[in-house]
Chain A
Amino acid sequence: MELTGLQIFKHLPAAKKAENTNCKKCGCSTCMAYALKLAKKQVNIDACPFIPLDLKALLENASKIQQHEIQLSDTIKAGGETVMFRHEKTFVNHTVIAVALDTTDKNFDKKLEKIKEYSIERIGETYKIDAVYLTGSVSDGLRKDLQKANIAIISGEEHYRIITGRDVCELEVKAQDLIKKDKVKDIVFDLEYSDSLVEQLTYIRRASILNRHEPLTYPVMVKIPEWFNLLETCALASLLICRYANIIVLNEFDEAMISTLMTLRQNIYTNPQKPLQVEAKVYEFNDPNRYSPILLTTNFALTYFAVAGELESMSQGSYLVVVPSDGMSVLTAWSADKFTAELVAKSINNFNLKEKVDTRTIIIPGLLSHMKTELQEALPEWQIVVGTVEACQIPEFLNKGIVS
């Protein structure tokens, strides 16, 4: 973490009410002004002749890299993380999901084709396989082909060095040698599987993020052992997405597993401060007319996409009124007072819904059935109908024709 101006100020003469307080020798009017500029790196640390040694050490440490970011291809990077927990700050580069392939395998082309074609979409994001871990020789043609498909190659012949080791100590010693003797700058650790795998990964991540211990500040790759079956692979890889692998190499390409892992990765790598949210407004699906049903929900992206997906899949048109609720899900928003009858009424009036349609029925989420009376009172011109608890029940609900 960078030091803040205030953290720096605490060490300066003015904060200690010591001699040379606000001496101006640095060119700033006060120690505080200098501290703020130093935090922004707008002045040099040597400008202050009275800078204490402990502050100097702190600043030097703060300027060290926490975890190197290794460029695996033009667009795919591994590492570069800055925190231990996702609630502190958004994780930087999502775990690279790679599939192991042997270029001498007689089914190589077929397997590669499947990997190249793979793509899923979830909550407005499209995901593809990030990389292939190649054994056997890599031809120039293959290299070009993969570059075009935007899939990174991980192999022993890249611009970075791969260091293999069983634990944190072994990797540290090997890395120290490479950095000192061979002046190697880019390293990827290949941490071998062991019973204490997650423990080793945690040690490495702490050594880099918290201690900024140079020999261990490189991204870590874990290859799932060959003797793991698909379900075991899925469970272990999920653990590794949460606990500190930067690259995961899968032995087998399986659609169900990869879509599951990519969903978990999306969850873990979302910005913790800003929930995924969509714009609060009236959304239209399949050219609704003035009598199409109207549904209501919060602006939490997951809720929106779950409902929108269902409405889109139907043959009839519909409206979805999305109420501003700080990107919270239905129940969370309700318990946090972000989804009140008053707010819903206000939104519906703001959206001019009455002019848009002739229907006077609004379907509310089944989870909010307890709000029905309250909403009915707040919206006397509308009839409030309690809808389904699950989004996937919506088509059946609407097809029953309860609502015109």
Chain B
Amino acid sequence: MLNLTKDLSFSIKENIRTIDFDGLTIGGDASLSFMSENQNIAKPLVAIEIPYKYDKSFPDILKQKWEATSFLDLFEKAMKSDADIVSIRFNIEEQDVKSELNNIKIFLLSLNQIETKPLILRGSNNVNVDRILLPFLAENAPKAVIIAFADEDTYETIVPAVVKNNHVLVLRTPIDINLAKELNVLSSDKGLSLDKILIDSDMGGLGYGLEYGYSIVEKIRLAGFAGDSMLNMPIIAFIGEESYRAKESKLDTFSTNWGTLDKRASMWELSGAAAMISAGANIVVVWNPQSIGVLKGLL
């Protein structure tokens, strides 16, 4: 007979780092795929992401699920959901940044009056916007939050504000383990604590190169277990955004063998999220409110 713990357990040098964040424990994994073999079960967390500009850029099939009348309504509904974290995506156009900052400040101030779930405050994916917006969000956040994300082009401007206000920072690199490590080192040189980093190694959605992101997450996780102190941070995957970019989640022009759009879009996100969780993601950020319950049930 084989002995489970002796013969089959996965040997690791070090656990993944733990981030204690707003009542949540992120990371701390002692094994792959949320196995319980080494006692410490690190449950992946589910974040629901909502757009600050609740306009026509947001998919109709998701609007139907939320039934929200405005961003504030959407925010309230997200707060009432079962998600562990609520992520607000400040999808602001470059020409509107300056004029929007005041409105954003008013919104963030209003959060001081209420109890909120742990928060991710996320930029627009536009370097010129994020250089201004992300330090601003870091300065004006109502409590310690996760700021997402800094990359090679923006970390120098964003890291100081994050450090000063004691937030957690997502560092994004383009699907490459060495670049991920390098940005961790560079950000740490700028004063960011290694225990305040979430790795986002970027990814393609299901059917659009998901396997590359998947394998990089697996490799980063294995490097962390092997004791690489610059790669043993928890990992976050923004699967919702990638899923709803796919043609399969947008268009109704597929043959009947691809199923109906609404169902397919929901499944596209769920399948990608489940895959990234199995690869080692500690936080999956989804767009479809239905995904929250299903993923939490799965874990």
Contacts and interface: CB of A to CB of B under 8 A. Distances in A.
Contact of B259 (A198, A238, A255): A255
Interface string B261-297: 0011011101111110111000000000010001101
B259 A239 contact: no
A392 interface: yes
A196 B36 CA distance: 8
A267 interface: yes
Interface string A226-256: 0000111011101101110000000000111
B299 to A, nearest CB: 10
Contacts of A199: 33, 35-37
B270 A122 contact: no
B174 interface: yes
Given A206-B8, A256-B260, A335-B174, A86 B274 contact: no
B215 A236 contact: no
B253 to A, nearest CB: 8
Interface string A317-339: 00000000000010110010000
A260 B7 CA distance: 36
A28 B174 CA distance: 51
Contact of A256 (B264, B275, B295, B298): B264
Nearest to B216: A87
Interface stretch (B21-29, B89-97, B114-122, B204-212): B204-212
Q: Is the interface of A mostly helix, strand, loop or mixed?
A: helix
Given A196-B36, A199-B37, A302 B258 contact: no
Interface in B189-227: 204, 206-212, 214-215, 218-219, 222
Given A169-B1, A234-B270, A87 B219 contact: yes
Nearest to B41: A199
Contacts of B4: 168-169, 203
B257 interface: yes
Contacts of A145: none
A119 B258 CA distance: 9
Contacts of B212: 275, 332
Contacts of A306: 208, 247
Given A202-B35, A235-B295, A268-B214, A391 B260 contact: no
Interface string B244-260: 01011011000111111
Most chain A CB atoms below 10 A, which of B175, B245, B258, B270: B270
Contacts of B210: 264, 267
A207 B298 contact: no
Given A239-B277, A243-B33, A172 B259 contact: no
A263 B243 CA distance: 13
B215 A272 contact: yes
Interface string A166-180: 001100110000000
Given A202-B33, A267-B210, A260 B298 contact: no
Given A232-B294, A235-B294, A242 B35 contact: no
B215 A87 contact: yes
A206 B279 CA distance: 16
B32 A202 contact: yes
B298 A239 contact: yes
Contacts of A86: 211, 214-215, 218
B2 interface: yes
A390 B245 contact: yes
B34 interface: yes
A254 B258 CA distance: 9
Contact of B211 (A235, A260, A261, A267): A267
B24 to A, nearest CB: 22
Interface in A37-52: none
Interface string A332-357: 10010000000000000000000000
Contacts of A270: 211
A282 B98 CA distance: 44
B194 to A, nearest CB: 24
Contacts of B207: 122, 263, 266-267, 302
B271 A235 contact: yes
Interface string A62-81: 00000000000000000000
Given A196-B36, A302-B208, A335-B174, A264 B8 contact: no
B33 A211 contact: no
A207 B6 CA distance: 11
Nearest to B152: A335
A79 B211 CA distance: 21
Contact of B278 (A122, A169, A242, A390): A242
Nearest to A390: B245
A187 B210 CA distance: 33
8 closest A-B pairs by beta carbon, nearest first, are A256-B259, A255-B259, A238-B274, A256-B263, A242-B278, A238-B271, A256-B264, A260-B267
Interface of B: 1-2, 4, 7-8, 10, 32-37, 174-175, 204, 206-212, 214-215, 218-219, 222, 245, 247-248, 250-251, 255-260, 263-264, 266-268, 270-275, 277-279, 290, 294-295, 297-298
Interface of A: 85-87, 118-120, 122, 168-169, 172-173, 196, 198-199, 202-203, 206-207, 211, 213, 216, 230-232, 234-236, 238-239, 241-243, 254-261, 263-264, 266-268, 270, 272, 275, 300, 302, 306, 309, 329, 331-332, 335, 390-392
18 contacts: A87-B218, A198-B33, A202-B32, A202-B33, A232-B298, A236-B298, A255-B256, A257-B259, A257-B267, A259-B248, A259-B259, A259-B264, A263-B206, A264-B206, A267-B214, A268-B214, A302-B204, A302-B209
